């Protein structure tokens, strides 16, 4: 990734307009100013350090441009970090902070200290008194990072708030009034919608109706939780939040009607009756389109089966639809593959990343059919009281920035949509990660056997091994094979976030074997003891290509952190799903037949075929997000022209 620009090279590069090299060269002069102030800051006692911070706050709120006080602010944060936590910001972390201040999404390799890097730009933006938010992917990371970094802010006279899912309204309001607030993108978005509903309720005096929609009783002197104008937000794991979840709608539902309550009984009835229907006799199933169609006999059976009283007014068309939906869900949606059941709720597993999609739901009745199948409470598909997409929410901020380990591949999309340039920040130490040759097998079975052999080989040397799988069910397949070999291991499926983060943190110890969906424990570094560094460091095994190369890079980035030694290898098979998704079922079938003729052979010549397929799927996903953004813009424009609120008056 190179080093921080200096000397004659820097002097030349600083004049390159609108380029990463030019930006880094120009910002490196700011870094020099921060470094020059370090001796002065070291001489200050704790009280003087705090007074210096308060003086900066006064200057910022008096209208002095933040860019002008950046060197002094960053030098203060560096000194506060060194005193309170024993963590001094490296030059590359200061450079990353400068990039964040300048509306960039910084790409920093795993283990380079993004959590500490964030403190400097958050502090500088918070000086303006308008609030600075840090959005991350789950409650655990938000609480952990806030707790870890709070001593730095307190030493400089600032307070820190944390937003958690179970918090009450008054706690949230207090957290948002803090100088710096940590939380999840989901909770920030829902609080924005609740505030929007509250303001309309106050404005129109419709306390009871919309108060019920908010799910809380009316209170005297109610006020919004968030600050009136969205000022600055730093998005951690920016590629995940701003791209993977960009089109995810955050929805606050309206009150269910009697008709919707009847739907609950219909979903339950259909889930109980699906085994009365036989394929090719009562229904036909299209394996390519994944569609169910009832035959004449199937429709007759659906009409004649006994039904609960609540379905007395349900039309025959809808009865058929409930049955078809139940059959489709039974065939295509499987526990621990597409979803998990946690605390009596269905939680979607993102098929691309393996991470749990908190708060997400399938549309068109699929989610309710899955709930009926699992026997949990059915969350009826109600109307919308308020709605905003993740993308829409973050575009409202005056200043936006991000951090991630993998954003370069999506730099054009991030620049076009969010007007944020992706800036790869140099590593503090040169990387020592070794890529071993990719292996391509005929069948999945042959691939898994080879994976187990490599794990056994590395385990015999004492090296820790981290194996990434694309889905929960694949991690269970590998776990069973390891059990057959009596090899002790941990399986992590992003199901228990806090517990798994601790396990991931210890995954670098002698002889440890960790099987994980690629997103489990994300945000936690794997630190290696000295004896592991001596024998080659952590070895990572990638068992399948994801639909986005960024996800594969996230897994690879687990090894070789901060200049540590490490290695990785990619395993593939001609039966992998990426080929079918990119090339279609017919071409994928031909490749499988090719493999079946020589099941024990390897196919190194087909390696490029997989990466081309991955790029094709990535382009398709990008086109989908681009189309969604266009329609969202047009919808908002039309609603504003009609005098409607695009967040509250969106049609269901």
The whole-angstrom separation of Cα 280 and Cα 226 is 56
Q: What is the pLDDT of residue 615?
A: 92
Over residues 453-491, the pLDDT tens digits come to 999 999 999 999 999 998 888 888 999 999 999 999 998
Nearest CA among 405, 421, 424 for reference residue 413: 421
Q: What is the pLDDT of residue 79?
A: 97
Q: In terms of C-beta density within 10 A (0-12 exposed, 13-18 middle, 19 or more buried), how is residue 36 classed?
A: exposed
Tokens at 478, concatenated = 């590998």
| pLDDT above 50 for 397 | yes
The whole-angstrom separation of Cα 67 and Cα 99 is 12
Longest CA span, the chain: 87
**What percentage of the chain has pLDDT greater than the value 70?**
92
The whole-angstrom separation of Cα 191 and Cα 401 is 20
Are 617 and 582 in contact by the 8 Å Cβ rule? The answer is yes
| pLDDT above 90 for 173 | yes
The whole-angstrom separation of Cα 499 and Cα 502 is 5
This prediction has a pTM of: 0.83
Long-range contacts of 214-222 (CB under 8 A, 24+ apart): 214/252, 214/385, 216/169, 222/198
pLDDT band at residue 218 under the 50/70/90 scheme: very low
End-to-end CA distance of the chain: 47
Higher pLDDT, 13 or 238: 238
Arithmetic mean of pLDDT, 139-156: 95
Over residues 92-122, the pLDDT tens digits come to 999 999 999 999 999 998 888 899 999 999 9
DSSP string of 531-571? HHHHTT-EEEEE-S--SSHHHHHHHHTTSSGGG-EEEEEEE
Alpha helices (runs of H) in 293-420, residue ranges in sequence order:
296-304, 316-332, 366-374, 390-394, 411-418
| 204-239 as b/e: b if 16+ CB within 10 A | eeeeeebbebbeeeeeeebebbbeeebbbbbbbbbb
Domains of the chain: 7-253+389-424 (3.40.50.300), 258-381 (3.90.1440.10), 432-613 (3.40.50.300)
Over residues 505-518, the pLDDT tens digits come to 888 999 999 998 86
The whole-angstrom separation of Cα 382 and Cα 255 is 7
pLDDT band at residue 361 under the 50/70/90 scheme: confident
Tokens at 170, concatenated = 């008054």
Q: What is the pLDDT of residue 210?
A: 47
The whole-angstrom separation of Cα 222 and Cα 213 is 15
């Amino acid at each position: 990734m190179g080093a921080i620009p200096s000397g004659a090279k820097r002097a030349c590069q600083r004049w390159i307009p609108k380029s990463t090299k030019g930006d880094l060269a120009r910002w490196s002069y700011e870094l020099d100013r921060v470094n020059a102030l370090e001796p002065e800051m070291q001489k200050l006692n704790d009280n003087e350090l705090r007074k210096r911070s308060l003086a900066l706050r006064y200057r910022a709120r008096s209208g002095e441009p933040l860019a002008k006080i950046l060197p002094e602010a960053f030098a203060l944060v560096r000194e506060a970090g060194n005193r309170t936590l024993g963590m001094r910001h490296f030059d590359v972390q200061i450079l990353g902070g400068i990039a964040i201040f300048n509306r960039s999404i910084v790409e920093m390799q795993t283990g380079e200290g993004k959590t500490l890097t964030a403190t400097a730009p958050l502090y500088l933006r918070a000086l303006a008194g308008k609030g600075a938010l840090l959005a991350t992917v789950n409650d655990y990371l938000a609480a952990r990072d806030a707790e870890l970094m709070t001593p730095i802010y307190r030493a400089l006279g600032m307070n820190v708030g944390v937003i958690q899912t179970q918090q009450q309204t008054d706690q949230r309001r207090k957290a948002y009034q803090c100088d710096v607030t940590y939380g999840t993108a989901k909770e920030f978005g829902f609080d924005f919608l609740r505030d929007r509903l509250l303001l309309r309720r106050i404005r129109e005096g419709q306390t009871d109706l919309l108060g019920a929609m908010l799910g809380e009783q009316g209170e005297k002197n109610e006020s919004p939780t968030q600050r009136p104008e969205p000022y600055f937000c730093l998005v951690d794991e920016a590629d995940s939040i701003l791209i993977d979840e960009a089109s995810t709608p955050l929805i606050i539902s309206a009150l269910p009607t009697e008709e919707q309550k009847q739907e609950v009984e219909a979903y339950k009835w259909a889930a109980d009756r699906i085994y009365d229907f036989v394929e090719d006799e009562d229904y036909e199933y299209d394996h390519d389109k994944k569609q169910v169609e009832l035959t004449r006999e199937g429709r007759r059976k659906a009409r004649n089966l006994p039904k609960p009283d609540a379905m007395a007014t349900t039309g025959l068309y809808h009865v058929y639809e409930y049955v078809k939906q139940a059959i489709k869900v039974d065939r295509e949606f499987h526990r621990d593959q597409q979803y998990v059941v946690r605390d009596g709720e269905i939680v979607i597993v993102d098929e691309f990343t393996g991470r749990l999609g908190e708060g997400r739901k399938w549309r068109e009745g699929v989610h309710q059919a899955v709930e009926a199948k699992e026997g949990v409470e059915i969350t009826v598909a109600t109307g919308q009281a308020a709605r905003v997409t993740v993308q829409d929410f973050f575009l409202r901020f005056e200043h936006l920035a991000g951090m991630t380990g993998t954003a370069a591949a999506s730099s054009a999309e991030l620049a076009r949509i969010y007007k944020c340039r992706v800036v790869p920040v140099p590593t503090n130490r040169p990387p020592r990660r070794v890529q071993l040759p990719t292996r391509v097998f005929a069948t999945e079975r042959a691939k898994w056997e080879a994976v187990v052999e490599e794990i056994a080989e590395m385990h015999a040397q004492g090296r820790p091994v981290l194996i990434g799988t694309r889905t929960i069910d694949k991690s269970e397949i590998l776990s069973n094979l390891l059990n057959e070999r009596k090899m002790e291991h941990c399986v992590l499926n992003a199901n228990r976030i806090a517990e798994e983060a601790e396990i991931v943190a210890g995954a670098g110890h002698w002889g440890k074997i960790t099987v994980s969906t690629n997103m489990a424990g994300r945000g936690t570094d794997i630190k290696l003891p000295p004896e592991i560094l001596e024998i080659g460091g952590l070895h990572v095994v990638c068992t399948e290509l994801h639909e986005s190369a960024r996800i594969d890079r996230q897994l690879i980035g687990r090894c070789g952190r901060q200049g540590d030694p490490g290695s990785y290898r990619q395993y593939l098979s001609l039966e992998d799903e990426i080929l079918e998704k990119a090339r279609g079922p017919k071409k994928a079938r031909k490749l499988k037949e090719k493999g079946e003729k020589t099941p024990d052979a390897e196919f190194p010549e087909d390696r490029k075929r997989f990466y081309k397929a991955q790029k094709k799927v990535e382009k398709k996903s990008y086109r989908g997000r681009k189309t969604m953004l266009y329609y969202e813009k047009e919808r908002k424009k039309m609603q504003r022209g009609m005098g409607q609120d695009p967040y509250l008056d969106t049609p269901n």
